Amino acid sequence: MDELNRQIIALLAENARVSNRDVALRLGVSEPTVAHRVRTMQAANVIRIVLQRNVRAAAQAHGLAILDVFVDDADAIGPVGQAIAGFDEILTVYETSRRPEIVAHAYAKTQAALGELVMTIGEKIAGLSRLNVSTLLSVNRYLEHIGNLEVAPAPVEEGSTPREKLLALLSHDARQTTKSLARALGLSETSVRHHMKMLHKEGFEAALVCDARAMGYAVWTELRVTVAAQHLRSALASLAHMPDITVTAHITGTANLMIFFSARTMEDLDAFVREHIRAMPGMIDFAIMRIPRVIKANYNMVL
């Protein structure tokens, strides 16, 4: 990725709906150049401008959990993952290089609703052999702007309401103008502006998501770490500002710390584990799960 694209991405990260004209003025290039660069990066799935809502801030989710899904039959891993991804309450689903074969992140309005979701998944999905649940007690770091954009947003469904159609269009590209949205929806620009105002009141904001591989990250991992209770707070604090960590969370279960670490090379991963995990005060045990495939990534809902 060349320097101009990096500078454009940096400005979009500050304000995802900044105009091409303002970007051009700040970078000293022409407006058509900026427009072409943005369109090219979007078409290549290097970046995506999405409409995001923080489910915690919107008081929508009081139950957040990690689902560890064990699948004994290797041929069933794909179908099981796709079936779990079909639940609206599931934010993310990915395969791992070890057991559990699939990990999913779920949210619900109450703990009871979360429990019902887990039981329904267990009852309805064939091929699933075991399902373990860990609650997210706190999410200490969550960088939603780095992701896997090979996973396409959901298409607009027939019979959807104008609001649902607008959300679907904005999940593909939240930089679209009011005029282009009105044309696509068959609505007036006034109606579109009204819907956009309501979405803003509900906590939706345009945000940039960059593809991890396009940004140079070739290795995706999740680490589960068990830290002595008296060292957990300091462990979370020590990881808070590392640029290659996208998530740190305090969780229930055998491990009490979850970390998402994106590495450019296996050597970088080895160095991170050696310097920051093995050397962590109070570290008792850890496990590394490589993530070879992301099945679902709902970038429109974040924690």
Q: Hey, what CATH topology would domain 155-207 get?
A: Arc Repressor Mutant, subunit A (1.10.10)
**pLDDT score, position 134:** 93
pLDDT, tens digit (0-9, with 9 covering 90-100), for 188-208: 999 999 998 888 888 888 888
In contact, 65 and 135? CB cutoff 8 Å:
yes
Q: Which long-range contacts (CB under 8 A, 24 or more apart) does 229-233 make?
A: 229/256, 230/282, 231/280, 231/281, 231/282, 231/283, 232/256, 232/257, 232/282
Instruction: Provide the percentage of residues in the chain whose pLDDT is more than 70.
Output: 92
Average pLDDT, the chain: 88
pTM over 0.95: no
The conformation of residue 144, written as its DSSP 8-state character, comes to: T
Q: What is the DSSP letter of 275?
A: I
Quick check: do 3-44 and 155-207 share a fold?
Answer: yes
Residue range 11-69, pLDDT digits in tens: 998 898 899 999 999 999 999 999 999 999 988 889 988 888 776 655 555 678 999 99
Q: Where are the domains of the chain?
A: 3-44, 155-207
Quote the pLDDT of residue 131: 95
Hey, which CATH number is domain 3-44, 3.40.309.10, 3.30.450.20, 1.10.10.10, 1.10.1040.50?
1.10.10.10
Measure the CA–CA gap between 80 and 116, rounded to whole angstroms: 18
Is pLDDT of 1 > 80? no
At residue 289, does pLDDT exceed 90? Answer: yes
